[in-house]
Amino acid sequence: MRDSINFDNHIPYYIQLMDILKEKVHHAEWVPGDQIPGEQDLCEHYQVSRTVVRQALRELEYEGVISRQKGKGTFISLPKISEGLVQKLTGFYQDMVERGLKPGTKVLHQNVIPSNDKIARFLNINSGEQVIDIQRLRFINEEPIQLVTTYIPFEICPGLASVDLTNCSLYEYLEKECEIFITKGRRYIEAVLANDFEAGLLGIERGAPLLMLDSISFSEGGIPIEYYHALHRGDRSRFEVELVRLRE
């Protein structure tokens, strides 16, 4: 593993330094949570200027490799949980299991309530019709990652109102018990800031960035089955979009 700058190489010094530091992470010499040496130590070890070190660290922070904590230092970041905006509609639980991660769920509430105008509009029902309101805190490897509130018309699957979803996939239950198959979805995403309630549950500071996802899921006949409102930790989540060029 390379641990020095090649001063005869045409590659900019800060890029070489970035590559060296990323190799330390790749080879597990540094693991998430480890504090890395300070700027002065890096300057002395690699015989480069503070400008080079700062630029390398700035780029690594932008890439999510490191995070800086005011008054504490610079640390190796936990890898972000990557999700696709266009993906298999398997649901969170099954998706994480397939990746070899350990998902967990804490059900915060599970009630039958009358729908408001917004929920009714998304689900194409009349305002006031009953929906099952489920709010869950989702974990990956015991770390809180996502706060999601789900609304499903009560009449299409009444039994769901009393099912324990702590260790159960919602989509799997809908398929097996209600014979409802989710075939497509529509998603809307935007950046928001965490309020006190959200920050407390997700283990972050008030005002920390969140990725807000509103989603509508449809059955085979194009009937809205589920509307959910999800808040993902901005420091632990990212979304991927795959683009395809269409030739005329």
- CATH code of the domain in which 96 resides: 3.40.1410.10
Report yes or no: 223 and 178 within 8 Å, Cβ to Cβ.
Answer: no
Q: Poorest-confidence range of 88-92, 203-207, 231-235?
A: 88-92
The pLDDT value recorded for residue 89 is 46
**Same domain assignment for residues 150 and 88:** yes
Whether residues 170 and 235 share a domain: the answer is yes
Each residue of 48-105: pLDDT tens digit? Answer: 999 999 999 988 887 778 888 778 889 988 766 655 544 444 456 556 666 667 778 8
Based on the fold, state whether residues 141 and 214 are members of the same structural domain.
yes
Task: Choose between 243 and 39: higher pLDDT.
Answer: 39
Answer for the pair 209, 151: CB distance below 8 angstroms, yes or no: no
Q: Total domain count for the chain?
A: 2
Q: Which of 76, 95, 114 delimits the end of a domain? A: 76
How far apart CA 65 and CA 68 sit, in angstroms, is: 10
> Mean pLDDT across the chain, nearest whole number?
86
Do 101 and 70 share a structural domain? Answer: no
89: closest CA among 20, 175, 17? 175
pLDDT digits (tens, 9 = 90+) for 165-179: 888 888 888 988 989
pTM above the 0.85 mark? no
pLDDT, tens digit (0-9, with 9 covering 90-100), for 5-25: 999 888 899 999 999 999 988
| Nearby residues of 119 by Cβ (< 8 Å), 6 or more positions away | 131, 151, 227
